[in-house]
């Protein structure tokens, strides 16, 4: 990731209107900011959330609250709890998310 031409700024995530994204089960609320080509999001998954797709987008993701279960297309599974993160490159390893008890995440992609 190359970060260029972005002046110093702050973000009050509570003032950003969320957009709702339905999953196969449950939903996600995204609060999104764009800084050049970089997308930064505060994402909240409802309890029981199951993604409706395999994602090939690269992310750096930090779990703030709850529990995020991530399955890779090859069958590997990972569980993130608050303070844990993952990183994956674009088109590297398709993955999908589930949040049995809900989760709040900070995502850069």
Tell me which residue range forms the domain holding 80: 18-108
Q: Sign (positive/negative) of CA torsion 82, 100, 53, 93?
A: positive
pLDDT (tens digit, 9 = 90+) per residue, 57-82? 999 999 999 999 999 999 999 999 99
Q: Is residue 10 part of a domain?
A: no
Q: Is residue 9 part of a domain?
A: no
More confident residue, 4 or 60: 60
Task: Sheet with 38-45: list strands edge to edge.
Answer: 19-22, 27-35, 38-45, 103-108, 59-66, 85-88
Q: Is residue 4 part of a domain?
A: no
Across all residues in the chain, what is the average pLDDT? 96
Q: Is residue 7 part of a domain?
A: no
Q: Is residue 52 part of a domain?
A: yes
> Residue 44 belongs to a domain with what CATH number?
2.60.120.10
Q: Is residue 6 part of a domain?
A: no
Q: Is residue 47 part of a domain?
A: yes
Read off the pTM: 0.93
Q: Is residue 24 part of a domain?
A: yes
How many C-beta atoms surround the C-beta of residue 46 within 10 A?
Answer: 16
Domains held by the chain: number: 1
């Amino acid at each position: 990731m190359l970060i260029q031409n972005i002046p110093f700024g702050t973000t009050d995530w509570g003032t950003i209107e969320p957009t709702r994204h339905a999953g196969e089960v449950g939903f996600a609320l995204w609060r999104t900011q764009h800084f050049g080509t970089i997308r930064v999001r505060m994402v909240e998954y409802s309890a029981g959330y199951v993604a409706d797709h395999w994602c090939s987008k690269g992310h750096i993701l930090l779990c703030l609250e709850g529990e995020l279960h991530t399955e890779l297309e090859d069958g590997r599974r990972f569980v993130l709890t608050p303070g844990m993160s993952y990183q994956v490159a674009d088109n590297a390893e398709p993955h999908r998310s589930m949040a049995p008890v809900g989760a709040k995440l900070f995502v850069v992609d």
